[in-house]
Structure 1
């Protein structure tokens, strides 16, 4: 890939605006800290691009979007780009863990201190991505950030959640997660939020999540919330199908509609209504 290349040393890291972690780097955490230092020194924001080899939309971004002259110029002027493979690199796994990332590519927009401006996921056209980069830069310049803590503190997470992301042990029994969440002072805090979204926790937590869509979107980003809401709606759809209740399903869709962008909504509509037995009849 032409836009991104792996560093061979810290000197090379400090010399280049586009940074990709080498899986053989002795300390991936140190490399991440160097990225933040570079962003601070150049008064730029950080774009984290989380991907994996074999991810079709990730490859499409690399082929069609990042080489675009307007996108490239804007990135060069305003961002340090940190690209990391979630299957091969520990820092990518840790960052994914911190933000409960479930879809790829995922883009995180941060300042040099590690404060999150917002996140986004999925393929974007060159024009869409450029507009997104401009919007996040403007928000970052205003000092508006989400409520995530700026540092990755592994001790903040329960073992089952760390294992899910760092060791890919994602089949966590519901009662284990439920026991942990019930003991938390607030489910609106960062760690409970990423556990619920990152592990797609359902049952009673679906209704809690739907009830608190607005505050969760404001605190942790609409992309993370909309992705989980879509999962919830698909689960609810099964219940409404069994009850032969299309009207209630339509009502639920309208209630969650505000959390989705126009583009997301158009894409999700087909999937949400497809094969609904009542709709067919």
Structure 2
């Protein structure tokens, strides 16, 4: 029995090594279309891993999680895997643009038609990632999908947003974004990814924050909670000006339900730490900076 298990484990490691090796070749629009065709032909789901070379959590996933026998088995049996370096490959940039991705790694789970089942980000240990895979299978079986359209069409987006992702020109003046958004429904897909992808604030913060539960249902909890955290960081500065810790805690209480207990313990601690104390801002090397 031990010999069988070791042989099976070795096979799964080899299977994932093969997937990882294939991912080192350049991913293109054509290879992305081939993945969708393969998923349809084999009646499988699609797993997209958006990463970049030099991203420590991305490398940690490759080293510790994807080779895990249970993870490798679930991926091999149920998914067609597509990995793309978002700094080197055009299709990776397009997928990041499509879903307003700002942190890496980002994982997108889709059905064979390219409809999004769920989006998740950051390092996930083997147990956490197994849950994501199992949940994606279950949601797909029930036909519970997100609101994103299944195709990438650059013409749907304003030029400033396309340039932000495709050319790295992310310092878009607020008035340019505002001119576009104020004539749109900000709960629709293109407006949503512009707001989250470019971290748009000011008058767009409160509608996003108070509509976050519905937005999470439509576009994925991970996509929404990341921006909500950014909003709460901005709002913290406002409450600090009047030293209104009670008011800030009340605002946090309204956002708590979006997060898992483990996430909330972490993020609430960050948000409440040194309230009112001047802080030095540091950049996260694993996110796109506006």
Whether TM-score is above 0.5 comes out as yes
Q: Tell me the equivalent position of 2:268.
A: 269
Counterpart mapping for 1:35-46 below 5 A? 35-46=35-46
Structure possessing the higher relative contact order (Cα contacts under 8 Å, 6 or more residues apart) = 2
Shift of 1:63: 0.7
Shift of 1:267: 2.1
State the alpha-carbon separation in 2 of the partners of residues 266 and 151 from structure 1: 37
Q: Tell me the equivalent position of 1:242.
A: 241
Q: Tell me the equivalent position of 1:83.
A: 83
Q: Tell me the equivalent position of 2:25.
A: 22
State the alpha-carbon separation in 1 of the partners of residues 24 and 175 from structure 2: 37
SS in 1 for 2:104: coil
Q: Tell me the equivalent position of 1:2.
A: 17
Q: Tell me the equivalent position of 2:109.
A: 109
Is 1:226 matched up with 2:241? no
Shift of 1:183: 1.6
State the alpha-carbon separation in 1 of the partners of residues 40 and 198 from structure 2: 33
State the alpha-carbon separation in 2 of the partners of residues 49 and 76 from structure 1: 14
Q: For residues 167-195 of structure 1, give each alpha carbon's deviation from its aligned partner in whole angstroms, at most 9, with x where no partner exists.
A: 000000000000000121x1110000000
Shift of 1:208: 1.1
Q: Tell me the equivalent position of 2:211.
A: 212
Q: Is the 8 A contact 1:3 1:66 kept in 2?
A: no
Q: Tell me the equivalent position of 2:156.
A: 156
Change in CA separation of 1:222 and 1:189 when aligned onto 2, cut-off 3 Å: same
Segments ≥4 residues shifted beyond 6 Å:
none
Shift of 1:77: 0.6
Q: Which runs of 5+ in 1 are unaligned?
A: 8-19
Q: For residues 123-153 of structure 1, give each alpha carbon's deviation from its aligned partner in whole angstroms, at most 9, with x where no partner exists.
A: 1110110011001111011111101000001
Q: Which runs of 5+ in 2 are unaligned?
A: 1-15, 278-290
Q: For residues 63-118 of structure 1, give each alpha carbon's deviation from its aligned partner in whole angstroms, at most 9, with x where no partner exists.
A: 11000001101111111111110000000000000000001110000011100001
Q: For residues 26-82 of structure 1, give each alpha carbon's deviation from its aligned partner in whole angstroms, at most 9, with x where no partner exists.
A: xx2111110001111111100100001111111111111000001101111111111
Shift of 1:270: 2.1
Q: Is the 8 A contact 1:21 1:82 kept in 2?
A: no
Shift of 1:266: 2.2
Q: Tell me the equivalent position of 2:98.
A: 98
Q: Tell me the equivalent position of 1:178.
A: 178
State the alpha-carbon separation in 1 of the partners of residues 111 and 24 from structure 2: 19
Change in CA separation of 1:154 and 1:271 when aligned onto 2, cut-off 3 Å: same
SS in 1 for 2:135: helix
Q: Tell me the equivalent position of 1:47.
A: 47
How many residue pairs end up in the alignment?
262
State TM-score, norm by structure 2.
0.88
Shift of 1:3: 5.0
Quick check: 269-278 or 117-126, which moved more?
269-278
Quick check: 53-62 or 193-202, which moved more?
53-62
State the alpha-carbon separation in 2 of the partners of residues 275 and 59 from structure 1: 32
State the alpha-carbon separation in 2 of the partners of residues 268 and 60 from structure 1: 22
Q: Is the 8 A contact 1:21 1:31 kept in 2?
A: no
